RNA sequence: GGGCGGUUAGCUCAGUUGGUAGAGCGUCUCAUUGACGUUGAGAAGGUCAUAGGUUCGAAUCCUAUACCGCCCACCA
């Protein structure tokens, strides 16, 4: 054999070249794949946030998806994998504003909306370029001709159309109520974007004034200047005589009208069994106030958007930060001999997940998607939901998974999903951010107009708010396929998509919302299988974090060990839904494996003639027949693993076979015969080696695409194609 | 408060429907001008958290307990 391979495999020499070859072949585009492909396999890449660069989590995600995509392409399916980027409104806003403050000492308000959005767009353009390059380095076989961005013109049209249709169906409404306000990010956030952090607090027990009949308990005395009622349990004997009575009280420099009401939501065992109701600063209290018909004029906003006390809060605390106000009020209670107890307590503080700001519940006029309201679903292929029937978005989301049309892997996340739906409240979709999809609603005096485009006549002003970034992400499986053009060939061909591979941390943010949107807008499920992956931790199992400085740049790993080694290291041994540890030693081990494979191929290539047509027809010895049969069982098992999305087992199986059966046993055993004088024995060995090597390269290709493609190109077999589109053996 | 996951070799973790325990790394011994030292052969090392139960048989199923971790939550 004349082809000279270097002694060791050097990933850097081949990866860029191979990727270019693939990309130029056009085979990432399913329309350009050869042969008659009837079965469809389509995947939408979870679009990475346009906030900068890829991290190891992306490496894990893309290794899994590329393996499954390559496998199905080799199975002869019409395989589409669509790339894209998410504008990640809140994350990008935050990041760019941070840079702005650092570099220019100005915030977004200093430079104005237009200039700020321009800055964000420039930043995003930059990030997207970097990330596209990095995704290519991962070897991801994405159809770049269909690349999408959640903020481009096509996706913007999809967003406006979706909003309009939901608005017309009565599923989107504007409402004034208590929402999660992030004083740091200066925007509202949805319930899912609020995280809880345990903190030590104090439970204060006191009464508003000397002549007020009941004591209440709270951890936030500063909000009590905004109280409108005291709620007790309807069956609580202690307070029966006060229920329905109204008191005027002088409390910490304010005058309050406090009605004592009975509400079943109150726990008689907690504190004094009586709760001060602050409608404007607690969602629960707002709901109690609604149930008790507390009129709007008796609800007082005492905290503003900057987490400072308002004028209404009274002269004692007005203008103060909430924490200062708390101290002042506690002091006032003590001075007036109203405080009866101070007990240390554990409390959960609410924090905005992006900015880290402490959430301040505030009443605001916001846009919501209602999840409990009945509507007529125009059409539906979701089992259990009849087209034309009355249903709710919650029911749609539930049905899609309950009836098995969507499978969530691992199964246990289905329970978590249902639990989330059961407790779901209306989704606050408006954000007071500048970068994002502008809400397609216009106002003129008391008139309101919702439309895909601005109203033609003059005097209208568009709603200043933008949409929650997950609103556009929720459309992703079909907004990337030409929707809202229902006749789009891509949409008809590739939707519902086959496979979806997000991290479990965005099950609610994204997976559930995709099911919601696809259900309402298309009457379809967005995908058939959701394979949730876990988080990658460091070698000791710790989370990657800036403070630990244990971050690893996947591009550095690729430079040092090669992409194939990185890919194997994040796939093998990590089951669905489980966190994995990232260990450079593991990457190194798979680099060694690549080299092993390289040298197996070198040996085989040196051992067979340049023209293999003669040996490929030679008679196999019974021993060689057995070896091929044994490979057949490995193949069958691997195929089954791949079909069931058990990549972690498939990859390990072929790894083990190549090294410890093919190299250690079969190749070793063949050496004597290759050197022998018996031409039949020699030819049989040559044929067997070449066949096994060829098959192994195919089986490994989904996991280690670069080295296998390179080696496959050297094999002296006729009729072969690029390994990328070679047939998976059967 | 509710729910979920984990507990397997020194370390990090696999173990698909129950059939006498596996991988990588690490350790020890030996080999080696050989396709590959990014190597090969071999070895040591586990009562599969604990206690019960089901079964001919359990790391695997059931019930408790302990310890770690995660998610959800309108006990103010």
Look at residue A1 and tell me whether its pLDDT is greater than 50: no
Q: From the centroid of its chain, how far is CA A477?
A: 13
The interaxial angle of helices A113-137 and A56-74, nearest 10 deg, is: 60
Q: List, in order, residues 6 or more apart from A290 with CB less than 8 Å away.
A: none
Residue A437: closest CA among A462, A402, A408, A409: A462
Span CA (A670) to C1' (B11), Å: 37
The DSSP code for A510 is I
Residues 6+ apart with CB under 8 A from A624: A684, A685, A687, A688
Distance A596 CA to B39 C1' (A): 9
pLDDT in tens, A500-513: 999 999 999 999 99
Q: Find the nucleotide nearest A641 (Cα to C1′).
A: B16
Is A723's pLDDT higher than 80? Answer: yes
Nearest nt (C1') to A285 (CA)? Answer: B74
- A661: closest CA among A634, A622, A687? A634
A55's CB contacts (< 8 A; 6+ apart) are A544, A551, A553, A554
The predicted-structure confidence for A59-85, as pLDDT tens digits, reads as follows 999 999 999 999 999 999 999 999 999
The residue-averaged pLDDT of A609-637 equals 89
What mean pLDDT, rounded, does chain A reach?
A: 93
Within 10 Å of residue A451's Cβ, how many Cβ atoms? 15
Helix (H/G/I), strand (E/B), else coil: A613: coil
* pTM: predicted TM-score of the whole model, two decimal places: 0.95
Res. A399: pLDDT tops 50: yes
Of A104-113, A143-152, A501-510, A674-683, the range with the lowest mean pLDDT is A674-683
Which of A43, A46, A18, A16 lies closest to A30, judged by CA?
A43
Rounded to whole angstroms, how far apart are CA atoms A616 and A464?
Answer: 71
Kindly give the pairing relationship between strand A216-218 and strand A580-581. Answer: unpaired
Q: What is the pLDDT of residues A246-259, one digit of tens each?
A: 999 999 999 999 99
Q: What is the pLDDT of residue A538?
A: 83
pLDDT band at A3 (very low <50, low <70, confident <90, very high): low
**Spacing of A576 CA from B14 C1' in Å:** 12
What's the CA A708/C1' B30 distance, rounded, in angstroms?
34
Distance, in Å, from the CA atom of A178 to the CA atom of A666, rounded to the nearest integer, reads 71
Helix (H, G, I), strand (E, B) or coil at A364: strand
**DSSP string of A212-264, one letter each residue:** -S--EEES-GGGGGG--EEEE-TT-GGGGGGTT-EEEEEETTEEEEEEEEE-T
Q: How far is the CA of A133 from the C1' of B24 (A)?
A: 31
- Dist CA A440 CA A464 (whole Å): 10
Nucleotide nearest A596, CA–C1', reads: B36
Distance measured from the CA of protein residue A23 to the C1' of nucleotide B38, in angstroms: 30
The separation, in Å, between residue A634 CA and nucleotide B61 C1' comes to 29
Residue A697: pLDDT over 90? yes
C1’ B23 / CA A572, Å: 10
pLDDT of residue A347: 84
Q: Which nucleotide is nearest to A585 (CA to C1')?
A: B25
What is the mean predicted confidence (pLDDT) over A431-460? 96
SS3 per residue for A415-460: HHHHHHHHCCCCEECEECCCCCCECCEEEECCEEEECCCCCCCCCC
Most confident range (mean pLDDT) of A398-402, A477-481, A578-582 is: A477-481
Q: How many whole angstroms separate alpha carbon A430 and alpha carbon A496?
A: 28
User: Is residue A278 a contact partner of residue A223, using CB atoms and an 8 Å limit?
Assistant: yes
pLDDT at A688: 95
Q: How far apart are CA A275 and CA A44, in angstroms?
A: 49
Give A630 CA → B54 C1' in Å.
38
Task: Quickly give A393 CA vs B43 C1' distance in Å.
Answer: 63
Nearest DNA or RNA nucleotide to A600 (CA to C1'): B35
Taking the C1' atom of every nucleotide in all shown strands and the CA of A537, the nearest one is B12
What's the burial of A613, exposed, middle or buried (CB within 10 Å: 0-12/13-18/19+)? Answer: exposed
Which nucleotide comes closest to A541 if you measure CA to C1'? B12
- Which nucleotide, over all strands, has the C1' atom closest to the CA of A10? B38
Over residues A685-706, mean pLDDT: 95
Q: For residue A545, count other CB atoms closer than 10 A to its CB.
A: 10
Distance A525 CA to B16 C1' (A): 27
pLDDT at A2 over 80: no
Average pLDDT of span A17-26: 97
Name the nucleotide nearest A665; use CA and C1'.
B40
Mean pLDDT, residues A463-489: 97
- Give the per-residue pLDDT at A149: 97
Query: What pLDDT digit, counting tens, does each position of A512-527 carry?
Result: 999 999 999 999 999 9
**Residues in a beta bridge with A178:** A363
Q: Where does the pLDDT of residue A279 fall: very low under 50, low under 70, confident under 90, or very high at 90 and above?
A: very high
What is the CA A487 to C1' B29 distance in angstroms? 71
Looking at residues A310-325, what average pLDDT do you find?
95
pLDDT over threshold 50, residue A425: yes
List chain B nucleotides near protein: any atom < 7 Å from a Cβ: 3-5, 12-16, 22-25, 35-41, 71-76
Distance A607 CA to B37 C1' (A): 22
**Least reliable range by pLDDT among A107-111, A485-489, A570-574:** A570-574
Distance CA A101, CA A99 (A): 5
- Tokens describing residue A70: 């390559």
Residues present in chain A in total: 730
User: Nearest nucleotide to A674 by CA–C1' distance?
Assistant: B35
pLDDT at residue A354 greater than cutoff 70: yes
């Amino acid at each position: 054999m004349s082809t000279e391979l270097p002694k060791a495999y050097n990933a850097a020499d081949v990866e860029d070249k191979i990727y270019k070859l693939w990309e130029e072949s056009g085979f990432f585009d399913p329309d350009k794949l050869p042969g008659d492909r009837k079965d469809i396999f389509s995947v939408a890449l979870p679009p990475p946030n346009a906030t900068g660069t890829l991290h190891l989590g992306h490496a894990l995600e893309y290794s899994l998806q590329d393996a499954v995509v390559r496998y199905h392409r080799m199975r002869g399916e019409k395989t589409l994998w669509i790339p894209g980027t998410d504008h990640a409104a809140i994350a990008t806003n935050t990041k760019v504003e941070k840079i702005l403050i650092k570099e220019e000492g100005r915030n977004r308000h200093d430079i104005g909306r237009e200039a700020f959005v321009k800055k964000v767009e420039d930043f995003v353009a930059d990030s997207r370029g970097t990330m596209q390059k990095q995704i290519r380095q991962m070897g991801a076989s994405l159809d770049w001709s269909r690349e999408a961005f959640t903020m481009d013109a096509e996706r913007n049209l999809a967003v406006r159309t979706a909003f309009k249709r939901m608005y017309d169906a009565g599923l989107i409404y504007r409402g004034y109520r208590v929402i999660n306000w992030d004083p740091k990010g200066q925007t509202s956030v949805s319930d899912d974007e609020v995280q809880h952090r345990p903190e030590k607090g104090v439970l204060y027990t006191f009464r508003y004034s000397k002549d007020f009949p009941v004591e209440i308990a709270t951890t936030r005395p500063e909000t009590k200047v905004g109280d409108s009622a005291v709620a007790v349990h309807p069956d609580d004997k202690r307070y029966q005589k006060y229920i329905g009575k109204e008191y005027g009280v002088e409390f910490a420099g304010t005058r309050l009208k406090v009605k004592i009401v009975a509400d079943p939501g109150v726990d008689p065992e907690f504190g004094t069994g009586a709760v001060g109701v602050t409608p404007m600063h607690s969602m629960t209290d707002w709901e109690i106030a609604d149930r008790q018909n507390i009129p709007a004029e008796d609800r007082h906003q005492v905290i503003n958007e900057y987490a400072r006390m308002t004028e209404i809060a009274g002269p004692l605390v007005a203008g103060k930060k909430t924490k200062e106000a708390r101290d002042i009020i506690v002091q006032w209670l003590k001075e007036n001999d109203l405080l009866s107890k101070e007990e240390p307590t554990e409390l959960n503080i609410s924090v905005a997940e992006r900015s880290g700001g402490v959430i301040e519940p505030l009443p605001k006029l916001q846009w919501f998607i209602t999840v409990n309201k009945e509507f007529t679903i125009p059409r539906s292929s979701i089992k259990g939901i009849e087209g034309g029937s009355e249903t709710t978005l919650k029911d749609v989301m539930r049905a899609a998974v309950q009836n098995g049309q969507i499978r969530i892997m691992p199964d246990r996340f289905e329970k978590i999903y249902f639990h989330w739906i059961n407790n779901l409240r209306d989704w606050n979709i408006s954000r007071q951010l500048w970068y994002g999809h502008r809400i397609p609603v216009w106002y003129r005096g008391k008139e309101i107009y919702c439309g895909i485009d601005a109203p033609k006549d003059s005097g209208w002003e568009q709603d200043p708010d933008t949409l929650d970034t997950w609103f556009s992400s929720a459309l992703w499986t079909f907004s990337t396929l030409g929707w809202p053009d229902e006749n789009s060939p891509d949409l008809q061909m590739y939707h519902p998509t086959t496979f979806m591979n997000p991290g479990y941390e965005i099950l609610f943010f994204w997976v559930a919302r995709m099911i919601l949107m696809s259900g309402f807008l298309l009457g379809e499920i967005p995908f058939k299988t959701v394979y949730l992956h876990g988080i990658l931790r460091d070698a000791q199992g710790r989370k990657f974090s800036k403070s630990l400085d244990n971050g690893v740049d996947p591009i550095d790993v690729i430079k040092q060990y090669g992409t194939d080694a990185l890919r194997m290291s994040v796939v093998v041994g990590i089951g669905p839904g489980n966190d994995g540890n990232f260990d450079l030693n593991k990457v190194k081990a798979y680099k060694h494996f690549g080299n092993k494979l390289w040298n197996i191929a070198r040996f085989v290539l040196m051992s067979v003639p340049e023209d293999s047509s003669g040996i490929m027809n030679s008679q196999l010895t019974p021993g060689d027949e057995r070896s091929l049969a044994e490979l057949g069982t490995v193949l069958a098992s691997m195929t089954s693993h791949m079909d069931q999305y058990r990549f972690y087992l498939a990859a390990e199986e072929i790894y083990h076979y190549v090294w410890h059966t093919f190299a250690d046993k079969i190749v070793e055993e063949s050496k004597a015969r290759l050197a022998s004088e018996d031409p039949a024995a020699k030819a049989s060995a040559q044929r067997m080696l070449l066949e096994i090597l060829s098959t192994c390269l195919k089986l490994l290709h989904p996991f280690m695409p670069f080295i296998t493609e390179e080696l496959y190109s050297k094999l002296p077999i006729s009729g072969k194609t690029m390994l990328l589109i070679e047939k998976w053996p059967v």
